Each structure stands twice: as structure tokens, then as C-alpha cells.
Structure 1
Amino acid sequence: MDQTLEVFVTVVEKGNFTRAAEELLMTQPAVSQYIQALERSVGTRLLERTNKYVRLNKAGEIVYHHAKDILGLYTRMNTLVDDLMHRAGGHLSIGSSYTFGEYMLPHVIAYMREHYPLIRPSITIGNTTEVGEMILRHEADVGIVEGDYQHEMLHIEAFAEDEMVVMVPRNGRYDHLQEISVQELANETWIVREAGSGTRAATERLFSQYQVHPAHLVEFGSTQLIKESVEAGLGVTLLSRWAVRKEMQLGTLHMLVPNGKPVARQFSWITQKTPYHTKVVEVFLELLHQQRGFPTYV
């Protein structure tokens, strides 16, 4: 591995030469020499230095972005070669959209930890758009997204279907119903997720399909907050059946099937476009396709 790039990235992320030297177990003059050598190699200064801080200039931003990619690819190469000789084990970085990440992924991870104890997973939760960006920036090994996500630079594969239903407050005028026309809910306050969310996209498709234009929309960035708000009588919402399992068991929310059938969407995994995956990624993807550890609907 090019240690010069490693030193440069560490200086940028630590914010000064002293902390970088401590991280790299080097002397501060040695760190400075590496940075000077890199700047000579590219033919320009990369860092703006003062006694208080170190900051990237425009050229430095370009070098930092590509250095991260190069170091990530080098680590990945070594991991793939090491996998040939060892059982699946090591770090697995997962980015997941909210519904799958908060309500299904913990069960999958528990199953994986039981059967593959050498795998060390870490999870970052974001909306579908944010997860796609994580994969593009090499910040996660695999991502899980909701709905019809497309990106020409990523490999995307559906592995499970989700059912979405309308949730309304319990002990209200809808308690006697199991199904409802979406048009009947047009005057309700609809509580929706933020733009970029797969759940928000599914809700907007539902409105478009039935030509419904709700008079009132309230936007929240948390599925849990949406559920609490519906329980409190603030409005109605469209959520995954997996996301409301506990509320249905406790009887705190009432489920309605919109226009006689749940809204269907896909969960998909996404990775960089490459024919090679580490063993830990292969194990995880196989669990997804087999739906091992998945919870069940109520």
C-alpha cells in the first residue's frame, strides 16, 4: 500500500500533523516529509496550513477523494485474497434504509452472528437516497434500499417483497373497517416521511395511482415518530407491515388495506458493480436471498 496516501488521508481526517503522527505512530517531521513528497509528486500544494488547523485546498480535495478510493480498493483486494484461505470473517459495513434497517435487519444480524460469529457487522441507517450515496462513496460494503431504486453505477438486485398498509388511530371511526378507499382519506392529515425515503416514494405513488390530493401533509424524518403521531390522533399514514408488527400485537394502531390490497414494493440490495465480493458480503447476501432470520408479519 502507498503509505504516502495513508499519511495524507490521516492528516486530513485528524485535522493536524500532531494527531496524525500519534495515530500513525510516527514523528511529526516524518509526517511532514510524506506530505511534502506527495505535493512534489502531484506538482502543487494540497493543504492550507496554519498553527491552528490544516485544510484541503481544491487540489487537495481531488487527491483526498481519490486517495480514499485507492486505499479502500487496496483493503478490499487484500480481504479478497485473504478470504481464499480462511473461513468467512471480518468487518461487514451495511447501509440500510429505515424500514428494513430498523425492523428487519436486527433479526438478520442476530441470525448471522449465531451462525457466523467471526463476522463483525456495523450498520448505518439512512433513507434510500443516502444509502445509495454511501455505496458510491465506498462507505459501506452493501446497502439495502426500498422501492424502485435505480442507479447506473451500482448493482441492484431485489430480494424480498414488502407490503404497505394504511395505519389509523385505534378507537376511532375506522375501527369497524378492514379495507378503505384511499379517496375516503383525502381529507385526513397524512403523515409522511421526508423526500428521498422509499416510504415517501410509495406514498406518493399511492396518491398518484388513485388521483388523491390530501389537503394536509405533515412530514417527519422518523418512522417511530410517525407511528407515535398516528397513535396520538394526529393523522394517518402508509407504512410497511413489518414496521407496525408490535403496534398491531399491542392493539395501539388499526390497519386498513387501501382499495382492497396492500401496496407492494421491493427491498433490494446494492453494491458496487464488481464480479468480486468478500466472503462476508457473500454470506450476508445469501442470508437476504434465503430470508434467513426475517421476522414474520402478525
Structure 2
Amino acid sequence: MDERQLLYFTALIDKGSFTKASKELHISQPSLSSAIKKLEESMGLTLIERTTRKISLTKEGEILYKEAKNLLNQFTHVREEMSRLKNLGPLELQIGLIESVKSWLPKVISSYIKSNPDIHIQLVEVLGLKQVELALKNYKMHLAITNQYFDNKEIVTIPIYKENLVAVFPKEHSLQNKQNITLNDLMHEKFIIGKEGFQTRQDIVSAFRNAGISPNIHFEFERFETAFSLVEEGLGITIVPENYITASNHASLTIKTIADSNLARTVYLAYMKNRYLPPVVEEFITRTKAYFKTKK
């Protein structure tokens, strides 16, 4: 089994027929058919069913297809990295991130580019657990800054800091002068919360549940900026990370800590384990960890 055989096999499945796959691969149909047969013989397994007009996979074929796609992605990634090292050096860095990092990430990048002035940095917002995981696995990013913890042996998850979650009210709200805000105070408020699948939503709902109450959810959002706009219009209240507050200019809002809860979240650096990381990526990880060590 070699890279060429895996390429032929996955192309056949992706295209759904020998005719379309052979055109895609620029080889004859007999050559493609022979290559697939040799792959099956070398493994001693039947990979595709040949009793129907459509290509269908056996159980063994399904497993090989999934693993072959991963391997081919990795082959491509390694080739691109080696080519970059040979010709230009690894001058790209793709980072997935959450909204609240804007309070500190520019400071880290400012320090980082002093030693990497020619680096091209791509910043991509990734929010849900599955979205981050797929982006890492599919080589869409080198690393992610996320509040998601990955229970996955293939992903390294390093905690870098912890931040509190705070309540946000419109000005002139009845609770704005109350010294100690509790979850019970928020029980009947129209609540603005992140969509299903977001870790912050899960943390907030769990805190309410532990207090024996449920939030009165009226709006769901993907971005904190959207939540702030709704609060400013007097449409409800929300709970957001304190680091997002420090990086935002919303003088028309009232910010309150929640006295009776341990509402907080951990922010992590996440990247694929056992995968080559270019030196510029390793340096960024080192600088990020160092930044938070100096803040302790």
C-alpha cells in the first residue's frame, strides 16, 4: 500500500464511479481498476462492492477510506511545509481564536513579529467544539485559542489563563445600584445567551442549574458584540467573559460581578499531537505561555 494507491482509492469513492475518477486522475479506467484490485490483494480484503452500478464500500473499505483521507491530508501538509522550508521558510501562521482574546492577543503578536517581521498571520474565529476540532484536524489552522477542553488523545490542550464571567445590564436597570448581584436576581430577567454548542453557554446554564433555577432565555447569539447590542437596546441582560469587557468600549452598559457563583472559564492553547509544528508556531506558543506567566 502506497500513497498513489490511496489517492486512487479515495478518488474513486469521492467521484462515485471509475469513469469520473479516471478522468480526475488522468489515467485509463483499466489502469484504475487494476490499481484498486492490487490494493485489495495486497491487503487481503474486499474494499468495494461490485454487485451494483454504484460504488459502495464494505465495512473494511469505509475504515480504509477514512484513514486514507487523513493520511493524504498529512502527506500534503508535510510536502507543503518542506517546500516552504526549502524555498521561503515557514512564514505562515494560522490561529483560530475566540472573541475575548482581543484584550491581550495584539500585545503577544506585537512582541512576536519583532523576531518574525515577515510572518503572515491569519486569524480565524472558531467557536463551537466541533468547528475547532475539524479545523485542527483538517490543517485549517496550526493552533487554536479556545475555551473548549478537548477530551481527545490527538489534541494537546494547554490551559493558559482563567477568567470570570460577569453580568451585563443596560443603563438605568433596576439592579444597577445593587451591590451584590446573585443568580436569583437574574432569574426573571430576559436572558441573552450563546447558541447551543458553545462552552460559555454550557457553563452559564450549569451555574443556574446548580442554583436550582433556570435562565429566562429570549435571545441566542454567536458573537458577544451582538449580545452587547441587544443589551444596549434594553432587550435583556447577558453574561460574558471579563476579558471581553476590558477590550470593549460600551459606556452605556453596567457591568456586575455575580457574588454567589463560581462562574468562570479556562482558556486553552490547542494543537494536534504528533504533528510537525513549524518553528514559528512553536515560538508563538512559547511567547503566549510566557505572557501569562509574567501576569501571575
| Aligned residues of 1:145 and 1:198 also touching (Cα < 8 A) | no
Answering whether residue 181 of structure 2 is matched by residue 180 of structure 1, we say yes
Indicate the SS of the match to 2:257. strand
In the superposition, relative to structure 1, how do residues 15 and 231 fare at CA in structure 2: closer, same or farther (>3 Å)?
farther
Of stretches 255-264 and 104-113 in structure 1, the one that deviates more from structure 2 is 104-113
Residue 222 of structure 1, CA deviation:
0.7
In the superposition, relative to structure 1, how do residues 95 and 109 fare at CA in structure 2: closer, same or farther (>3 Å)?
same
Indicate the SS of the match to 2:249. helix
In the superposition, relative to structure 1, how do residues 280 and 86 fare at CA in structure 2: closer, same or farther (>3 Å)?
farther
Counterparts of 1:193-272 in structure 2, within 5 Å, are 193-208=194-209, 211-214=211-214, 216-218=216-218, 220-223=220-223, 224-245=225-246, 248-259=248-259, 263-272=263-272
Alignment-derived partner of residue 191 in structure 2? 190
**Code of the aligned partner of 1:183:** N
Cα deviations across residues 160-189 of structure 1 (Å, max 9, x unaligned)? 333321112234323445652232112112
**Code of the aligned partner of 2:207:** L
Unpaired stretches in structure 2, ≥5 consecutive residues: none
For 2:286 and 2:23, the matched residues in 1 are separated by 41
Alignment-derived partner of residue 46 in structure 1? 48
Cα deviations across residues 243-296 of structure 1 (Å, max 9, x unaligned)? 3456x524243211111898432211123333853324313312422449xxxx
For 2:90 and 2:220, the matched residues in 1 are separated by 38
| Aligned residues of 1:189 and 1:218 also touching (Cα < 8 A) | yes
Residue 65 of structure 1, CA deviation:
1.1
In the superposition, relative to structure 1, how do residues 132 and 22 fare at CA in structure 2: closer, same or farther (>3 Å)?
same
Indicate the SS of the match to 1:251. coil
For 2:288 and 2:237, the matched residues in 1 are separated by 31
In the superposition, relative to structure 1, how do residues 183 and 61 fare at CA in structure 2: closer, same or farther (>3 Å)?
same
Alignment-derived partner of residue 278 in structure 2? 278
Of stretches 228-237 and 260-269 in structure 1, the one that deviates more from structure 2 is 260-269
In the superposition, relative to structure 1, how do residues 203 and 160 fare at CA in structure 2: closer, same or farther (>3 Å)?
same
Residue 233 of structure 1, CA deviation:
2.5
The normalised TM-score by structure 2 is 0.72
For 2:254 and 2:184, the matched residues in 1 are separated by 18
Alignment-derived partner of residue 145 in structure 2? 144
Counterparts of 1:20-39 in structure 2, within 5 Å, are 26-27=26-27, 29=29, 31=32, 33-39=34-40
In the superposition, relative to structure 1, how do residues 62 and 116 fare at CA in structure 2: closer, same or farther (>3 Å)?
farther
For 1:276 and 1:134, the matched residues in 2 are separated by 16
| Aligned residues of 1:146 and 1:265 also touching (Cα < 8 A) | yes
Alignment-derived partner of residue 99 in structure 1? 99
For 2:278 and 2:153, the matched residues in 1 are separated by 22
Alignment-derived partner of residue 4 in structure 1? 5
Of stretches 281-290 and 118-127 in structure 1, the one that deviates more from structure 2 is 118-127
| Aligned residues of 1:177 and 1:256 also touching (Cα < 8 A) | no
Unpaired stretches in structure 1, ≥5 consecutive residues: 293-298
Residue 158 of structure 1, CA deviation:
0.9
* Identical positions, percent: 20
| Aligned residues of 1:194 and 1:200 also touching (Cα < 8 A) | yes
Report which of the two structures shows the higher radius of gyration computed on alpha carbons: 2
| Aligned residues of 1:44 and 1:59 also touching (Cα < 8 A) | yes
- Aligned pair count reads 286
Indicate the SS of the match to 1:180. coil
Residue 85 of structure 1, CA deviation:
7.0
Alignment-derived partner of residue 295 in structure 1? none
The normalised TM-score by structure 1 is 0.71
